[in-house]
Structure 1
Amino acid sequence: MSDNLLTLEGVHTHIGAYHILHGVDLVVPRGQLTMLLGRNGAGKTTTLRTIMGLWQASQGRISFGGKDITSQRTPQIAHLGIAYVPENMGIFADLTVKENMLLAARNARSAAQMDEQRLQWIFKLFPAVEKFWNHPAGKLSGGQKQMLAVSRAIVEPRELLIVDEPSKGLAPSIINNMIEAFQQLKQSGVTILLVEQNINFAKRLGDTVAVMDNGRVVHAGSMQALSQDEALQQSLLGLSL
Structure 2
Amino acid sequence: MTQNLLELHGVHTHIGAYHILHGVDLVVPRGQLTMLLGRNGAGKTTTLRTIMGLWQASQGHITFNGQDITKKHTPQIAGLNIAYVPENMGIFADLTVKENMVLAARSAKTAAQIDQARLQWIFKLFPAVEKFWNHPAGKLSGGQKQMLAVSRAIVEPRDLLIIDEPSKGLAPAIINNMIDAFRQLKESDVTILLVEQNISFAKRLGDTVAVMDNGRVVHAGSMAALAEDEALQRSLLGLAL
Normalised TM-score (structure 2): 0.97
User: In structure 1, what is the Cα distance between the partners aligned to 2:234 and 2:21?
Assistant: 23
Q: Which amino acid aligns with 2:66?
A: G
Q: Deviations over 1:27-48 (max 9, x none)?
A: 0001110000000000000000
**Mapped pair 1:163 → 2:163:** yes
Aligned length: 241
User: In structure 1, what is the Cα distance between the partners aligned to 2:178 and 2:106?
Assistant: 25
**Mapped pair 1:51 → 2:51:** yes
Q: Which amino acid aligns with 2:59?
A: Q
Normalised TM-score (structure 1): 0.97
**Mapped pair 1:91 → 2:91:** yes
User: In structure 2, what is the Cα distance between the partners aligned to 1:186 and 1:143?
Assistant: 23
**Mapped pair 1:199 → 2:177:** no
Where does residue 101 of structure 2 map in the other structure?
101
**Mapped pair 1:190 → 2:185:** no
CA contact (8 A) 2:203 2:227 kept: yes
Where does residue 6 of structure 1 map in the other structure?
6
Q: Secondary structure at the match of 1:10?
A: strand
Percentage of matched positions with identical amino acids? 86
Where does residue 68 of structure 2 map in the other structure?
68
Structure 1 residue 154, shift from structure 2 partner: 1.4
Runs of 4+ in 1 over 6 A off after TM superposition: none
User: In structure 2, what is the Cα distance between the partners aligned to 1:15 and 1:135?
Assistant: 37
**Mapped pair 1:117 → 2:114:** no
Unaligned runs of 5+ in 2: none
CA contact (8 A) 1:126 1:181 kept: no
User: In structure 2, what is the Cα distance between the partners aligned to 1:158 and 1:141?
Assistant: 26
Where does residue 42 of structure 1 map in the other structure?
42
CA RMSD of aligned residues (A): 0.9
User: In structure 2, what is the Cα distance between the partners aligned to 1:222 and 1:215?
Assistant: 21
Q: Secondary structure at the match of 1:176?
A: helix
CA contact (8 A) 2:92 2:138 kept: yes
Unaligned runs of 5+ in 1: none
Q: Secondary structure at the match of 2:21?
A: strand
Structure 1 residue 134, shift from structure 2 partner: 0.9
Q: Which amino acid aligns with 1:237?
A: L
Q: Which amino acid aligns with 1:91?
A: I
The range that moved more, 115-124 or 173-182, is 115-124
Where does residue 217 of structure 2 map in the other structure?
217
Structure 1 residue 147, shift from structure 2 partner: 1.0
